[in-house]
Amino acid sequence: MAFIMGSGSGKVLPEPSKNGCFCLFHSVVNFKKQEADGEECKEKRQAWFWRRRSDRRAFRGGISEGVGDSVHLEEPVTSPNAKFRAKFDPRVTARYEIKALIGRGSFSRVVRAEHRRTHQPFAIKLLEVKGQEGHEACQTELGVLRRVNHSNVIRLAEVFQTQHRVYLVLELATGGELLERVVSRGTFRERDATKALMMVSSGLRYLHMLGVIHRDLKPENLLYYHPGQDSRLIITDFGLAYAERSCRVKDWAVRTLCGTPEYLAPEMLARRPCSSAVDMWALGVITYILLSGSLPFDQSSRPRLFRAILRGSYSFHGDSWRSVSTLAKGFIDRLLTLDPERRMTAEETLQHPWLVSMAACSSNKNLHRSISRNLQRRARHGPPPRCPSSAPGSRISTRSGSTTYFKG
Ligand code: PIT
């Protein structure tokens, strides 16, 4: 999220729904065009995890190296600091010292800031609000953030609004993204995965109880609060979130397609009514990545990718899965279930034997080497070519049928 925030390149943005509920700023994806753009699409997807990691590292310079008393933004991009600083309303800078840019997107920037009186660190997200759509999207995001209060969900401290800008003062997470931590550790075992997933599930259970659907859950949107081992994991980026208060939960997805393609639930692609189950599907994708370093649906063009998702065609083939327990694979199967009614809820994940038994029953093998190798390989070469092991016959082809056509 913090690298390519808002309408990042890989993101599918939503269409306005009939009842006027928007969840992001603009841009409607034309799927017919995307079929033709398959190759370009592949190229864009290639850098995936590693490109974003290194981008973020650049932005993080300010955090890790410290900035002393400087009020200058340490912004390692070409835009002049003065121009960027000018975007901050004097009311904001009167209260907060802007320290460093830590993330940026088309319509937003996140900076590290310090409260001038208390010296408490915060993250400030600056949102450029353009037009009616932007305004409505921003209000949805704000509405969600104002309602939430949970240790695994980013907390909002205060908000400043001007006609064209909104400044969200948020708790500062400095522990890095979920996958960054997996890679930087020397070891990674199933129990480490379950620990992270418990926290995400707990945050999701809370959000879903409130009638909030995140709709863009992915590893980049999961940040550790601090660099220590015992840090909590926080769900961030509610730019695409859907709140029950503004529209009926079962109502919204027929025309609305938003999120990051690899994490999109089949019912979204099929333009079926959607619910909080779309987040649970994304959690299944995240779990798969956490345990293998690869994506369950990794086709090289968007149409192929979407067809695979709609069929639920993923497998546990390959070396990295040999060391993974049956319980863990069962957990993924219960999330990557085509029928959203049969998919595990957040509450159910917290009761799943794999999460519950954690250290006791989970495989104790160190998965770190194969996960890192897969992540690095993917960063270098992009998604793998279609190989015999992923041919239809040997795939784990799943469950109830789903519509397999795309509506333009
Ligand atoms: C941090 C550190 C960081 C990014 C963020 C917070 C961003 C948080 C965020 C972004 C959103 C949103 C809510 C929270 O709706 O690197 O402490 O778009």
> What are the tens digits of pLDDT across the range 130-153?
888 888 889 999 999 999 999 999
Evaluate: CB of 104 within 6 angstroms of ligand 1.
Answer: no
> Across the strands, what pairs with 223?
177, 234
In this structure, which residue's CA is closest to atom 4 in ligand 1? 2
Yes or no: say if 355 and 201 are a contact pair by the CB < 8 Å rule.
yes
Please report, as a single letter, which amino acid is at residue 202.
S
Evaluate: CB of 238 within 6 angstroms of ligand 1.
Answer: yes
Give me the pLDDT at residue 361, please.
56
pLDDT tens for residues 192-220?
999 999 999 999 999 999 999 999 999 99
pLDDT tens for residues 268-289?
999 998 999 999 999 999 999 9
Query: Is 243 a residue whose pLDDT tops 90?
Result: no
266 CA to middle of ligand 1, Å? 27
Yes or no: say if 124 and 111 are a contact pair by the CB < 8 Å rule.
yes
Yes or no: say if 34 and 40 are a contact pair by the CB < 8 Å rule.
no
Evaluate: CB of 3 within 6 angstroms of ligand 1.
Answer: no
Give me the pLDDT at residue 241, please.
93
Query: Is 83 a residue whose pLDDT tops 70?
Result: no
Please report, as a single letter, which amino acid is at residue 196.
A
> What pTM does this model have?
0.77
Return the ligand 1 atom nearest residue 241 CA.
15
Evaluate: CB of 101 within 6 angstroms of ligand 1.
Answer: no
Return d(Cα 193, Cα 330) in angstroms, integer.
14
> Across the strands, what pairs with 212?
243
224 CA to middle of ligand 1, Å? 11
Token digits of residue 314: 């993923």
Phi, psi of 127, deg, nearest 5? -110, 125
Token digits of residue 26: 């603009």
Token digits of residue 203: 């945050």
Return d(Cα 326, Cα 363) in angstroms, integer.
9
Yes or no: say if 103 and 3 are a contact pair by the CB < 8 Å rule.
yes
Active site residue 333: no
Domains of the chain: 38-407 (1.10.510.10)
For 368, the enclosing helix (H) or strand (E) is: helix 368-381
What does DSSP assign to residue 342? T
Q: How many CA atoms lie within 13 A of 36 on its CB side?
A: 5
Give me the pLDDT at residue 263, please.
97
110 CA to middle of ligand 1, Å? 7
What does DSSP assign to residue 77? S
Q: Which position among 192, 216, 237, 279 bears the catalytic label?
A: 216
Query: Is 324 a residue whose pLDDT tops 50?
Result: yes
